[in-house]
Structure 1
């Protein structure tokens, strides 16, 4: 009963007044259904609150949504209808100095219930009107009576004693914990599932204790985050008591083993696994050896991995082979399963209705693998306006693209300093750095390192109040994060300025858009089959230009800032998973009139690079030593990663050195480039590199219009498309029964032929 909507409303109301209108308390009250039955409006309000960081006293004044006047008016109208009962509730508590007596608290809560029409809503629920799904009809009236009795008891127990709301909250929680609602008793035979440390039921007839394996139970003692065992023992010897040491933790596990083993009145079953999911052998728990010493006649019983269905002693043992025999497609049972004639007979028995219905629902809920081409065209239009990163999502898993771009699904935006917000803030600093130099008419290379550092710091401090409504000023932890981010941007700018004497390209444009804004560049159009087309849009972080003497074209380099160090993966590139960086350069090459809009005659692609906003750390004997590394080590941490035309090497690095520091290249003694750890490509290879990108984009576009929405996540080593996917709850991909799409290196024809011969000989 402690979680009935009325109990939850009462709890959250007290918490709102006690703790200053916290987000979870306010929306906990709203979601009880006793304030508003409009669940869509509550969800929409919570989405905005999470995205804008609304909490505390902001709810008691008109809310602001800059740039969306209609949304602002709608939210404030809804709050004007919902908030008055809570305002009066707060006014009542403030009249008694937020320290009410028992009668004052009970009266204020009754007034709140009355203003919200709680009794009428519970009566409607009890009659089956607007009924919450998990509660029976007869419960609500009983709950209201018991909650009323709880307030009566509060009045009697604390007639003249004023208490702070936090103290009242503890008293109410104790009272709610003791309230129960009579229900039909459970059947005599029942299964209780619980953890060892919380199982105290003395009436259990049979206890089953699974998972008694080494490292699982007893659990490994948690290591101390700061002190070694020797240091802990030294402090204990000086009478400085700390938490349980490793020996005491193991002793506590032994106590849990005793408790668990003594719960059963008739029979105790302990199980351990012989092998793990990867088929590696496992050891039994040391507690099993201890039991065998206590009971010498105790012999473990080995359970076979697969039991012949003909040896079943209970209908429950036939459920698994029956479901396997009826499973569709690749999930069908092996040949030695239940024969078809027996399956038909078993399927008709009433005892198997429930599991069969579950299986049918599972089969029906499995997502389709493709849409009709006509439906795909209706969904996306004849011309698909999208981004390269969206097409990368399709290459990672077609269903991910469908969920995000077809269904328009997405996670809630939260007012949090998450990695995306941190990276975006540093992007803003770097953009403004270039804009201010542009206004002053100064190229980057004219600045000294000290000037660049000072300017970057000023820009970062100036952006803080305006960035996402002061996201990085909301609390001390975020202010510290902001200082770290500004210092990181300063370190990057310092390094880039220090490289300027050897780098003959000049940062010329930042945040260049194509297909996004009227004043930006037009979208890159790629023709597809059946009259369809891709219209690609995007935002390029930085374009660097160099105008060699005698060349009527400007060499162009595209720079993409990343929050962490990142390399261009050749295997992912081949499968269309890393197209964004080279696509931006290819887009500049293909866009008509693009050069004229940028104010230059023509662009000649020269290179594409990732630049990390956070340097890759070197090694050190201690954490402090690793963090203190400066100079050349910092330069190595900011080394660019990507691909460039080796024919223009002198413009990327004019030092004439055999090994690069800003860019990855190494020249052997014979003048050729080393094949390992080298981002330099010969002119023909570089053009092929850019040309293949368009082929990948066209292939993906055609697959989208073919209706491919299959749940087919990629796997590369231990990396999978599912790891950070926000749509896992929608697709319900199960790697136990559904295979990943493994990315394998593509062999040249000669290599493939040689391998086939070797395999045949073997």
Structure 2
């Protein structure tokens, strides 16, 4: 029995040396058994390397194994433990079951273990405890001298860990227990006894692995351990954790101690000498990097006799983002394959953040026709079948909520077509269908826009949906149902909906599309799900289980699920992780993502035990996985191993922004390399990226095309673009693509409109218009065309919106005002109790028309109380605003097409326009033979009268309504002078009053509730609104009087002449807008006024695709003072008179 260490730095040829010796000895001694033991993920690559070195390309007495594979070989020979092994998925199922049962007993972890991924973390901690041979009872000692919080957390861990061990005892093994069981029977194995054992690829052994190593030392003829260690280092001086080769020296120390315990002869250390014959024999830069990276001395590389010459073995690159990094790697791979005869297998791309870079590598390499293998087990969580199962269970648990129903129907495996799903979704939103009970009852509520016969279609979809899911609903809600019964119900559902057939169809589609990795994933997923259901039946089958717990158990299983992807070919680029991926003979390595937070990796995302917890345990000499500090130093060692893999060329790249656009900094590693190689320049891929390289990949060609097309618009096409365009023109397929791009580059909006004839057919020769429609047209003609010309509509939803709030308040105020008129009662004379009682009656009558909506949810029911409070406050304020004045309500909700004649306009081309609308309230006052009118429009939003917006047609409501009322009243009273008095918006709201003086709260509230708008500024008329106003600010109108008794500059008032100018201008503007509509104007021409635009709440942005970056421009409107706007209106009227 003997032990020998073979050491050497990375690239020194250690593995090559021991493999050649092993093959030579195995050929000379065919009677002996040779065992090569490597980490699990390295077995295939090691077998491939040894086979390639074998003279006969075959292995008779050599086995390549991992520790687990060794165990099963020995168990097969000796008849080991017959219990099945509980793998990670099974462990998660058991942990989830224990957590659900013990949740009430967990003081600290009870809530946190319900988070997604928390069960996986607990499972990992249990695996760690078992790897380090820590029993549940030992955890009690951890709490001694610790804080109450830490003690409670450890007791929670102990509870779950003990429950886990109790549950599997006598039934299952875990992978962590296998090495211990192996040690119990390995002595009986002829495979191991007197064999020659080689351990390669390890950076250290866990405690349970050390048990096996100890037995190997006692049984084998010889054990050789290959260790990565600089030849200049003393293997017996372990040193501190901060030293680069600390892990290697600790492995030597611990293994030598095992040899001493087993009385195994320790042979002299053999050092692999790389000088002149190692990996870097012809590459002085990479040799210097290997010899000095992370070492003391700060040595600097100078190329002998070639000072300042570019470093040929190492490249540094700075990219804008990760996509540009991966694109650059693809370009270099294509170029080197073409120019230097490399094979794709000579390249590798590694990173410290494979999750972020994997998708980009898949997309870019596939589009560039670069064969690749992504060394990453893919999670099943995003697979279509898993999403179908998760969504249908979510639907059952959430009682058929809207979100859960359509998550399931859009999972891709339902029998519903996309069109059927859209139809049902539109109906469910419009009718407010929520809950399983509503789906079981016939749909009766018909949306406003639908015909009666449409209900047959909706109910047909309802019945189809129930037939698909009802059996599963009954099976999952079975009283006292067990986990096994629920698993069986789910299986029947998957069979009934033909999910296996659909998955196979997807697999075939991926195969035809040559997406081999997705094909491989879909070929395994059905078997994985069936195996998971079988495990649930086997492990938890007879356990009574609530549906939520069953869902959690499945989730735990899915989170563990990984689909292993086999390399699809021999000649391919390997894309992997710096720590896990085993690289073969790589000539060129691209190390991407060399950024802070990735290198070194951020360790902030803890687990069940935080970093503080682990440090406290370390102080108590409790050995567990490395702490964050230890992990940082270990990462340096893995960086060293990765960066010294390539034989010819090492690329290091970093990006200025993350994939999400967040700014990020380069890693410290970049500055480390720069200090070692001061002549090495960082290449900026934005500034220094020749077109010749970019032509290598579709991504690069696309960007070059876009730049060239942009240059064409400025008459500056580049020579590279012309060459690329010529190359594309010679390919029929690419020629069509080029034509599309050239057409797009010459795109500009042709706002020619639809013409008068089509407009007449769409709108009719008598245009029936609302003021809101005119304002929308003024905001953007194209939006008006989509709304009123094409009749596009947003989906109807059965929800209580701000618009519904406004409608109810309007109707209630109308009822209130009409009730007063019907009973011949004066608003201003009502007592407080009378006013409130009448307001409540008005609201109750109105709510009768909206009860289905308002009482559909608890939230909406609460809204009724708010409506009642707001209505009472509103009628109080409106009453207070009437009391000090002479105006009295004359009518409410007056319709243009009702009592009042239609407002008609004769337009260009013979068309007519008829305006319709409803005026919320009209008040009148007769004084000195003149009849003054006040109109009020109730608003629940924050609309303010803005004369600039009025001038541009964006706010026409109040002056249009005033003009209509004036005309109608003048007809009624031909002998009187009917004049405008005021036009107001009243904002229905509940303002927050603070800092009001004691006793002045009502006055402060009344001031906040003053109407907004415009009233006549003449003193006598102002006093018709507020007879008590002498100076200062009124509480009931938007006017402040100065010391001279005149309205201040900021008051909402205007002289009678200005009122007439404003109303005449509005009349002309309405006619102009109507004429433009009937001319067929449909320009995409939204306005901008300050920070407000017509696009702000427009639902059609995806239709018009208005984009300032592509040359689109807003119509800029500059806000002006009231006087300036009135002057412009006056001039506009004068110019029109002159033209006549």
Q: d(CA) in 2 for partners of 1:296 and 1:459? A: 82
Q: Is the 8 A contact 1:615 1:637 kept in 2?
A: no
Q: Does 1:644 align with 2:976?
A: no
Matches within 5 A, 1:625-664: 630-647=1001-1018, 648-658=1021-1031, 659-664=1033-1038
Which residue in 2 is equivalent to 1:79?
A: 462
Q: 1:202 to 1:365 in 2, by over 3 A?
A: farther
Cα shift readout 1:416-462 (whole Å, capped 9, x = no counterpart):
34332333333233233224333433231121234323432454466
Alpha-carbon deviation of 1:51?
A: 3.1
Q: Is the 8 A contact 2:596 2:668 kept in 1?
A: no
Q: Which has the larger radius of gyration?
A: 2
Q: Does 1:494 align with 2:494?
A: no
Alpha-carbon deviation of 1:166?
A: 0.9
Q: 1:749 to 1:544 in 2, by over 3 A?
A: closer
Matches within 5 A, 1:50-89: 50-56=429-435, 57-65=437-445, 69-89=452-472
Q: Is the 8 A contact 1:502 1:652 kept in 2?
A: yes
Q: d(CA) in 2 for partners of 1:602 and 1:162? A: 87
Give the counterpart of 1:744 among 1118, 1122, 1133: 1118
Which residue in 2 is equivalent to 1:112?
A: 493
Alpha-carbon deviation of 1:394?
A: 1.9
SS of corresponding position for 1:534: strand
Q: 1:83 to 1:181 in 2, by over 3 A?
A: farther
Matches within 5 A, 1:247-326: 266-271=651-656, 314-315=694-695, 322-326=705-709
Task: Note the residue ranges of structure 2 that are not aligned, 5 or more in a row.
Answer: 1-379, 583-588, 603-627, 644-650, 1129-1140
Alpha-carbon deviation of 1:55?
A: 0.7
CA RMSD of aligned residues (A): 4.9
SS of corresponding position for 1:512: strand
Q: Does 1:471 align with 2:850?
A: no
Q: 1:463 to 1:383 in 2, by over 3 A?
A: closer
Q: Does 1:93 align with 2:473?
A: no
Q: Is the 8 A contact 2:594 2:667 kept in 1?
A: no
Q: Does 1:610 align with 2:985?
A: yes
Q: Relative contact order: is structure 1 or structure 2 higher (C-alpha 8 Å, sep ≥ 6)? A: 2
Which residue in 1 is equivalent to 2:964?
A: 587
Give the counterpart of 1:709 among 1074, 1079, 1082: 1082
SS of corresponding position for 2:1108: coil
Q: d(CA) in 2 for partners of 1:44 and 1:629? A: 57
Q: d(CA) in 2 for partners of 1:190 and 1:526? A: 75
Cα shift readout 1:307-334 (whole Å, capped 9, x = no counterpart):
699887644778657535535xxx9644
Q: d(CA) in 2 for partners of 1:646 and 1:587? A: 22
Alpha-carbon deviation of 1:646?
A: 3.2
Q: Is the 8 A contact 1:65 1:71 kept in 2?
A: no
Q: 1:139 to 1:291 in 2, by over 3 A?
A: closer
Q: Is the 8 A contact 1:664 1:677 kept in 2?
A: no
Which residue in 2 is equivalent to 1:539?
A: 918
Relative to structure 2, which stretch is displaced further, 140-149 or 530-539? 140-149
Matches within 5 A, 1:349-428: 349-350=727-728, 356=738, 359=741, 368-373=750-755, 374-428=757-811
Give the counterpart of 2:398 among 19, 22, 36: 19
Q: Does 1:681 align with 2:1054?
A: yes
Relative to structure 2, which stretch is displaced further, 721-730 or 611-620? 611-620
Q: Give TM-score, length-normalised by structure 1.
A: 0.74
Q: Is the 8 A contact 2:395 2:408 kept in 1?
A: no
Matches within 5 A, 1:327-342: 327=710, 333-334=713-714, 337-338=716-717
Q: 1:354 to 1:307 in 2, by over 3 A?
A: farther
Q: d(CA) in 2 for partners of 1:601 and 1:164? A: 81
SS of corresponding position for 2:890: strand
Q: d(CA) in 2 for partners of 1:69 and 1:358? A: 45
Alpha-carbon deviation of 1:122?
A: 5.8
Alpha-carbon deviation of 1:181?
A: 8.5
Matches within 5 A, 1:147-186: 147-177=529-559, 178=561, 180=563
Which residue in 2 is equivalent to 1:506?
A: 888
Which residue in 2 is equivalent to 1:483?
A: 865
Alpha-carbon deviation of 1:306?
A: 8.8
Alpha-carbon deviation of 1:393?
A: 1.8
Q: Does 1:568 align with 2:945?
A: yes
Q: 1:268 to 1:306 in 2, by over 3 A?
A: closer
Give the counterpart of 2:1096 among 698, 723, 728: 723
Alpha-carbon deviation of 1:379?
A: 2.8
Cα shift readout 1:523-576 (whole Å, capped 9, x = no counterpart):
43322211223332223222223344634xx53322112223332112211111
Q: d(CA) in 1 for partners of 2:876 and 2:578? A: 61
Cα shift readout 1:471-512 (whole Å, capped 9, x = no counterpart):
36612x444444333322222221221222213222333333
Relative to structure 2, which stretch is displaced further, 725-734 or 70-79? 70-79
Q: d(CA) in 2 for partners of 1:79 and 1:406? A: 34
SS of corresponding position for 1:10: helix
Cα shift readout 1:252-283 (whole Å, capped 9, x = no counterpart):
9xx99x999x989551425379xxx9xxxx9x
Relative to structure 2, which stretch is displaced further, 635-644 or 71-80? 71-80
Q: d(CA) in 2 for partners of 1:727 and 1:649? A: 45
Q: Give TM-score, length-normalised by structure 2.
A: 0.51
Which residue in 2 is equivalent to 1:754?
A: none
SS of corresponding position for 1:384: strand
SS of corresponding position for 1:542: strand
Alpha-carbon deviation of 1:140?
A: 6.7
Q: d(CA) in 1 for partners of 2:675 and 2:1086? A: 52
Q: d(CA) in 2 for partners of 1:385 and 1:184? A: 69
Alpha-carbon deviation of 1:717?
A: 1.7
Alpha-carbon deviation of 1:613?
A: 0.8
Q: d(CA) in 2 for partners of 1:210 and 1:619? A: 51
Q: Is the 8 A contact 2:814 2:892 kept in 1?
A: yes
Q: Is the 8 A contact 1:319 1:355 kept in 2?
A: no
SS of corresponding position for 1:348: helix
Q: Does 1:578 align with 2:955?
A: yes
Cα shift readout 1:702-761 (whole Å, capped 9, x = no counterpart):
32233332322211222222222222222222233332221125779999xxxxxxxxxx
Q: Is the 8 A contact 1:563 1:613 kept in 2?
A: yes
Q: 1:292 to 1:686 in 2, by over 3 A?
A: farther
Give the counterpart of 2:1106 among 713, 724, 733: 733
Q: Is the 8 A contact 2:940 2:987 kept in 1?
A: yes
SS of corresponding position for 1:657: coil
Q: Is the 8 A contact 1:457 1:487 kept in 2?
A: no
Q: Is the 8 A contact 2:432 2:797 kept in 1?
A: yes
Q: 1:744 to 1:138 in 2, by over 3 A?
A: same
Which residue in 2 is equivalent to 1:207?
A: 592
Which residue in 1 is equivalent to 2:407?
A: 28
Q: 1:432 to 1:357 in 2, by over 3 A?
A: farther
Q: 1:540 to 1:479 in 2, by over 3 A?
A: same
Q: d(CA) in 2 for partners of 1:300 and 1:687? A: 78
SS of corresponding position for 1:722: coil
Q: d(CA) in 1 for partners of 2:520 and 2:965? A: 69
Q: Is the 8 A contact 1:322 1:338 kept in 2?
A: no
Alpha-carbon deviation of 1:384?
A: 2.8
SS of corresponding position for 1:558: strand
Q: 1:666 to 1:628 in 2, by over 3 A?
A: closer
